[in-house]
Amino acid sequence: MRYLLSEDQMPTAWYNVGPALPEPLQPQLHPATREPVGPDDLAPLFPMALIAQEVSADPWIDIPGEVLDILRLWRPTPLVRAERLERALGTTARIYYKDESVSPAGSHKPNTAVPQAFYNKMEGSKRLATETGAGQWGSALAFACRQYDLECKVYMVRASYDQKPYRRILMEAWGGEVVPSPVDDPESPGSLGLAISDAVRDAVTREDTHYALGSVLNHVLLHQTVIGLEAKEQLALAGEARPDVVIGSCGGGSNLGGIALPFVSDADVRLVAVEPSSCPTLTEGTFEYDFGDAAGMTPLMPMYTLGHAFVPPSIHAGGLRYHGDSPIISSLVKTGRMEAVAYPQGKTFEAAVQFANTEGKIPAPETGHAIRAVIDEALAAKEAGEERVILFNYSGHGFLDLSAYDDYLHGRLIDA
């Protein structure tokens, strides 16, 4: 039931969906002039290699050997058939999950943290600044910076900093320096948008420092395509010609993009984004240019957004609390190539617990969103009497989110 690739079967190039998108992406705009941003505008924040990847028209981009060496610490990741879940649902569907929880930080995020740290090192940065919500991205970047001897400064949303110490401890164990955000207002619980502003301010005011973003941007989704590329090979090992539907939770769009983008060109494969109904960017937001942060310091991006001032309620899936969405995912939804659904968090924990009780693994609350949609898809297939091949991204484990399960199991979960 587990489909494994050997280390030398790891993809050696990332798949760039840009040229295959139904519509070309609109350019990012300078926050002050509203003109398309050029490489010089972005140079204070990112190394040139990543700026080039952001706008590349090449369908494939080689993964540097030094990056492959580190990804091999946990890749290729397993593809697993969730047969016990299928049986419990009595479904005619076949459910496969790509297990990204096996990385050092416990999620898909190191897939991009490692190449981002690498290119910064190559171009002479000494230090990276970033933001983190519950700490998934911060811990992935702290791990990656350690591999290349870079300093890592993490602005952590204050509410999480105060209430969820374990990922802060992970970051510190990997040598990162963590401070609560917003730095200039100790009374504020903070938000991802505010923390991005803090990290960007740090990077633009220090010569030795660049900024790193864990989702949303084109180069981040690019780095995550190793997930879908491996899954394609593994589905073939399982005897499946193709999935009928590919599902991922969607905060900024990176784990979903990672598993779904390699299937965009196959029109027979449905693609589904799953988001929280308390932060319904794709299902209820508007498609327009908006800032990536709360203070309006980042470039304007063409995306579905709830407005950069939107502060989502504090649900447990911290990684899904973002006002905007990746321009690539937004474009796929806008053109109808991708579907989007939203669920309240109670329904996602119900699904996560059903998964834990059949497959054994405890998913991250973000991953629970994907599992909710998978279960509903499998039940719909049963209803229709169809064999349906469902592929989803198991984006991370929930071992550091047990207080959320505690709330759910003891009736304290706010069902927003």
Ligand X SMILES: *Cc1c(COP(=O)(O)O)cnc(C)c1O
Give 296's Cβ-side CA count (13 Å radius).
7
If binding is defined by CB under 6 A, does position 112 make contact with ligand X? no
Closest distance to ligand X from the beta carbon of 92 (Å): 28
In this structure, which amino acid lies at residue 121?
K
With beta carbons less than 8 A apart as the criterion, state whether 25 and 327 touch.
yes
Interaction residues for ligand X, span 293-322 (CB under 6 A) = 319-320
Q: Indicate the residue whose CB is closest to ligand X.
A: 396
Interaction residues for ligand X, span 20-79 (CB under 6 A) = none
Structure tokens at 117: 């740290």
Among 110, 176, 253, 285, the residue binding ligand X under the rule CB under 6 A is: 253
If binding is defined by CB under 6 A, does position 249 make contact with ligand X? yes
Closest CB to ligand X among residues 251, 299: 251
Among 139, 254, 305, 331, the residue binding ligand X under the rule CB under 6 A is: 254
DSSP 3-state assignment of 274? Answer: strand
Closest distance to ligand X from the beta carbon of 326 (Å): 7
Closest distance to ligand X from the beta carbon of 38 (Å): 26
If binding is defined by CB under 6 A, does position 396 make contact with ligand X? yes
Beta strands 286-291 and 300-305, pairing class: antiparallel
If binding is defined by CB under 6 A, does position 290 make contact with ligand X? no
Q: φ and ψ at 224, to 5 degrees?
A: -80, -10
Among 202, 366, 377, 401, the residue binding ligand X under the rule CB under 6 A is: 366
Interaction residues for ligand X, span 187-246 (CB under 6 A) = 215
Q: Please work out, in degrees rounded to the nearest 5, the angle formed at the alpha carbon of residue 13 by the alpha carbons of 7 and 16.
A: 140
Q: Which helix (H) or strand (E) holds 257?
A: helix 254-260
Closest CB to ligand X among residues 269, 320: 320
What is the spatial distance between Cα 222 and Cα 112, in angstroms, rounded to a whole number? 8
What is the spatial distance between Cα 182 and Cα 160, in angstroms, rounded to a whole number? 12
Closest distance to ligand X from the beta carbon of 255 (Å): 3
Closest CB to ligand X among residues 91, 103: 103
Closest distance to ligand X from the beta carbon of 250 (Å): 5
Closest CB to ligand X among residues 145, 320: 320
DSSP 3-state assignment of 166? Answer: helix
Closest distance to ligand X from the beta carbon of 386 (Å): 28
Give 152's Cβ-side CA count (13 Å radius).
34
Q: Which helix (H) or strand (E) holds 178?
A: strand 177-181
If binding is defined by CB under 6 A, does position 285 make contact with ligand X? no
Among 37, 114, 117, 250, the residue binding ligand X under the rule CB under 6 A is: 250
Closest distance to ligand X from the beta carbon of 365 (Å): 8
Task: Using alpha carbons, select from 219, 5, 11, 229 the residue that is nearest to residue 118.
Answer: 219
Closest CB to ligand X among residues 129, 279: 279
Closest CB to ligand X among residues 193, 253: 253
The residue ranges of DSSP E strands in 227-364, in sequence order, are 245-249, 270-276, 286-291, 300-305, 338-343
With beta carbons less than 8 A apart as the criterion, state whether 401 and 364 touch.
yes
Q: φ and ψ at 254, to 5 degrees?
A: -80, -40
If binding is defined by CB under 6 A, does position 400 make contact with ligand X? no
If binding is defined by CB under 6 A, does position 395 make contact with ligand X? yes
Among 75, 98, 109, 210, the residue binding ligand X under the rule CB under 6 A is: 109
Binding-site size, ligand X (CB under 6 A): 19
If binding is defined by CB under 6 A, does position 107 make contact with ligand X? yes
In DSSP notation, 110-152 reads HHHHHHHHHHHHHTT--EEEEEESSSHHHHHHHHHHHHTT-EE
What is the spatial distance between Cα 323 and Cα 306, in angstroms, rounded to a whole number? 5
Closest distance to ligand X from the beta carbon of 133 (Å): 8
If binding is defined by CB under 6 A, does position 136 make contact with ligand X? yes
Give 303's Cβ-side CA count (13 Å radius).
27
Q: What are the residues binding ligand X (CB under 6 A)?
A: 107, 109, 136, 215, 249-256, 319-320, 364, 366-367, 395-396
